[in-house]
Every structure is written in C-alpha cells, then in structure tokens.
Amino acid sequence: MRALCSPVSVYTCDGSREEFDRIAQEMVLKGTLVPLNEKKRPHSFWCRSHPDDVARVEENTFICSRNKEHAGPTNNWKDPLEMREFLQELYRGCMQGRTMYVVPYCMGPIASPYARIGVEITDSPYVVLSMYLMTRMGKEVLARLGDGEFVPGVHSVGRPLKPQEKDELWPCNPANRWIVHFPEDREIWSYGSGYGGNALLGKKCFALRIASVLGRDEGWLAEHMLILGITNPEGEKKYIAAAFPSACGKTNLALMQSALPGWKIEAGGDDIAWIHFGPDGRLYAINPEAGYFGVAPGTSMKTNPNAMKTFEHDALFTNVALTEDKDVWWEGMDKTPPSNLISWRGVPYDPTAGLPAAHPNSRFTVRSSQCPAYDKEAENPYGVPLSAILFGGRRSGTVPLVTEAFSWAHGVFMGASISSETTAAAKGEVGRVRHDPFAMLPFCGYNMGDYFAHWLSMGKRGDKLKLPRMYMVNWFRKSDGQYLWPGFGDNGRVLKWIFERTSDKASAKKTEIGYVPETLDLSGLHLQQSHLDELFSVNREEWLKEAKELESYFQLFGEHMPDALLQELRDLEKRLLATDSL
C-alpha cells in the first residue's frame, strides 16, 4: 500500500493518549479542529466537514462478491476483478504529501473469543482520532494479533497534495467516492469521503457488511442493534437488543433513563451487536464497538441526559454549531439558540435564514465507558444473554406502539417487514417511507433473501424455550401531526411490559399482527384514551395494503426468498381477511 499510495511517511498508531493529543494538536494548528472551552468541556474538540461530505453515500457503496447473485438485489455490485483494477489506478499516488497512518483495532473486548481484529490504513488524522474513541486501538491489539488473521481496510480522502500546496481544512473528493467491500477476501477499500461510516472502516464496513458474511459462514449474526440491560425493582436483570434504522432512536433508547421508579436501564451498546449461541443454548450479544458516534440534534437533558453527561469531556463534535465561549450547540439542546453562534458551515448563524445551526446528521464521538449508565457487562468477553429482540422504524401510522411475535419465524417476518421514514443519516430525500429489513438495508454484505434464511436457521438451531422473544415497536405514531406517545424515558414502560412478557407475567391481547398489551404501566402519565386506543389499534384495511406492498417487495428476492416468510405473509393476509380470526 505504501508503494501504491506514495505517502510522505508511514506511522503505526499505538493507541496512547499522548498520541491522540499530538495528532489533535497538529489538526488544531492546521485549523481543522477547534479546542472547546476547557472549563465547560475539557479535552474536547469541534470540527466541520465539507458541505457535501456529511452522511453515508449508499449509492457509492459496493459489495464486490465473485457472484452477482451473492450480493443480491439491494446492494450495488461490480465485478471484483474489474473493481480491483480500477482501485489500483484510483489509489496510485493518492496519499502524496500526506502521512499514511496504520491503525490496528479490535472489534469487541480484546479478551473475547468473539472479537475480531482489523487494520485500517488511512491518510486522515480525523479518522485516527475517531478510531481511538470508537474502538480498542493500538499496541494491545497488535500484541493479541500476533500472526493471526485480520480484516484489512484502506481509506484515503482522495486528495493528494502537490509540493507546497496548501491543504484544505477537510480534504475529501465528493465527485469520486467509493466504499468497496470484497466479502470473500474480507477486504475494505474506501476513497473520497472523510466522514463517519464511509471512513471509520471498523463501523459499518467491518462490523456489519463484512461481519454479516462472517456470521453467515460461521453461524452467528452481525446486526444493526443496540444492547441494553434492564433491571426491575426486585433486582432481576435481563438484556434486550433492538434494531432501528439510523437516526431512529437507538442511542436514546440504549442510554435511556426510565420514567418508571425502580427500573434501571444500563447501556451495553448503541449501534451494533454480534450475536452467537453460548454453551447453554441461549443467544448472547457483544458490542464490537467501544464508543458512540451519535446524532447530536434532538439530544438534550430532557431527551437523553445520560448522553449529555457522557460527552461532558473527551469528545469530538462534527458539524454541530460553535458558541461564542467555545462550547457546542444544536437544535433541540434547548429552545433558544445562543447569540453569536457559528454554524456548521463555519459562518455566523442567522436564525432568520431558515437553515439549521447544526447539520441534521451532525455527530458526537465519545468513548462509551464515559456514560454514567454504562453496563460493565459490556466488557464481558462472552457477551450478555438476550431475552428479547426488538425491531422498529419511524412510522407515523399503521404500526402499533408494541407488538409481540407469535413465534421465531413470525419474528423474523417482522424484521424482514420493517419500513421506515428516511432520515438525514443517509444522503438523499428525507421523510419518504422505504423498506429497511432488520434495519440492515445499507449494511448487509450479501443477498438479503439468504440473510432472512440465515435468521430462520438460527431459530432452528436453538432451543425454542431459550430463544429471545421478538417484538415490533414504533415510538413515532402520529395523529393530526402530533406524536401519540411521549417516547424517551417513557419508552421504559414498553420495556417493562416486554420484560414481564418474557417471564409470562404480563397480559396480552391477540391481534391479526401479533400480541399487543392488554395493560401498560401508565402511572404518572396522562394520555388521552383516544390516543391510547390509536397507539394499539390494528386497522385491517391499512394492514392489507401493507401486506400487498410486502408481497411486491418480497418478489425482489426471487428464489432466494425463504418459503417460510412467504407463508407468514399468507397467514397474515388470512388473519386480516377472516372476520373471526381471533
């Protein structure tokens, strides 16, 4: 890679605090980073990206499997031999004038038998700082690696520097971006973007796209899921994993403070779970990450106090607004923006211009161990046992607040059926409803029909009595443009019902689409009865339309679509059409 990319120098990262400080200071001197107020937010920095490098670029993301069928209809595919030839030319000399950083990192606790090691080569110091916060990185990883296998990844911002040429504050190449995966070779090549999952190759590229293929081949699951621990007032603790599309509340749920007295929530992970069978036949989950790359707008002491406390120090903020006294601000933090703000575009913020002070996909990056609700079991090398798995999306209608699946296969059908209104986490139109099975549409590294089959096979391998129960949730249902459910800490009421259902201690009513609560703990919450009725209503006409839409969508996967899920769809339609189905 050194010969191909022609960097000025090569530096292997050791993962130390001194190294972080040295690289951060170099970025401060260049003007890319701004140190924040040491009294308000010690050892923290603000930066802003290029205006066209702010989110995932799904249209430029490729799965280059040897067989196009293996990539499936939901992934972009190119022939791997042709792509390799193209990349060789693209990367030739791409790091001229820059340092090539070698970043060894571990996904998962270093001592875990389920952890995997990656090595990212990058010419971006921003990536180095982010990987320091997001993963276990440096000398310890190299010591564990020895002569073992690792997932190689190369990343370049795609802007070689000529001699004496002045660098940009955020070098990138928006006109020429490529996020490329070779699943059979377990390789990642990324070019042109310096932002988020496009550039931090441990995150979506390794932990989901490559790891999903590893999981298929080895009998485990790599999922776009949070992990949380929930303890009832009697001291009994259970673990829940939940799959939501990006910017649909995973971090808020993982770091939640329950509104119910005596119920404790602890954060195991806010984005990714690797799930495997333990020796006792239960499914266990580890969080392969060690940090949060969370959406900032909407995060406040009201919506997510634990997140606010987590990034009080040692944090990196990207594309939020900068206050006059060198602190950060974004929409939703409080009602009134401070005066003399600098917007994410680097210019004075004008509240009358109709443009946000912080980009809707602006982020905070911080180590998860700083969270006051951090679950120490997140460091357990063998993971935590799952009692429930949740699927959800952002739907303003149709989908009830919470629904329990009839069986494992029905739960897999729920996961395959997720549709969600799009958010700013991906480039493109915001607010349109799209299918996002298992919240994995942008992240599954192989044919999604085969992915559904893999989920079904996991259920057949496990003891039915020990498998987690599965649920569909929707915090975002509206009436007359207003949210029906308060969300945030009150989502703990739904988690309480799920907790008690997994011990057969909570009552439920059977509907055409699954079980919904007969009663929910609403103590101290004042909801209109009409709103409550609507939250749990199942409109047959709407669901028949949903079923027809699903029937059309499932055809996309052709012969790869499992018969068991097509049968679940037929059964749903029968229940909806039967007058006495319940």
The tokens of 57 are what? 């670029």
Concatenated DSSP letters for 412-448? HHHHHT-EEE--TTBSS-SS-EEE-GGG-TTT-SS-H
Residue 4 identity: L
CA 531 → CA 154, 471, 525, 526, distances in Å?
Answer: 51, 21, 12, 11
Three-state SS at 74: coil
Taking the CA atoms of residue 256, residue 222, residue 77 and residue 88 in that order, the dihedral angle to the nearest 10 degrees is: 100
Query: Could you give the count of Cα atoms lying within 13 Å of 539 in the half-sphere of its Cβ?
Result: 10
Question: What's 299's DSSP letter?
Answer: -
Question: What's 397's DSSP letter?
Answer: S
- Burial of residue 349 (CB within 10 Å: 0-12, 13-18, 19+) is buried
Residue keyed to tokens 């949740």: 390
Q: Which helix (H) or strand (E) holds 35?
A: strand 34-35
- DSSP H helices in 284-429: 305-310, 408-416
- Euclidean distance between CA atoms 266 and 373, whole angstroms: 5
The tokens of 273 are what? 């779970």
Q: Which helix (H) or strand (E) holds 530?
A: helix 529-535
User: What residues contact 45, with CB distance under 8 A and at least 6 apart?
Assistant: 24, 27, 28, 33, 34, 35, 36, 315, 316, 317
CA 390 → CA 132, 250, 374, 461, distances in Å?
Answer: 30, 11, 20, 20
Taking Cα atoms as reference points, which of 29, 42, 23, 22 lies closest to residue 327? 42
Q: Please list, residue by residue across 459-484, b when 16 or more beta carbons sit within 10 angstroms of its beta carbon and e when fewer do.
A: beebeeeebbbbbbbbbbbeeeeeeb
- Euclidean distance between CA atoms 250 and 271, whole angstroms: 7
Taking Cα atoms as reference points, which of 179, 191, 203 lies closest to residue 78? 179
Q: Which of 47, 248, 371, 444 is catalytic?
A: 248
Taking Cα atoms as reference points, which of 238, 188, 261 lies closest to residue 389? 238
In the structure, how many helices (H) and strands (E) does the chain have?
A: 16, 30
- DSSP H helices in 94-149: 125-134, 139-145
106 catalytically annotated:
no
The tokens of 519 are what? 């009663």
Phi then psi dihedrals of residue 510, to 5 deg:
-80, 130
366 C-beta neighbours (distance < 10 Å), count:
24
Taking Cα atoms as reference points, which of 272, 93, 57 lies closest to residue 180? 57
Concatenated DSSP letters for 400-419? -SEEE-SSHHHHHHHHHT-E
Task: Please say whether the beta carbons of 142 and 14 come within 8 A.
Answer: no
- Euclidean distance between CA atoms 266 and 65, whole angstroms: 39
Catalytic (active-site) positions: 248
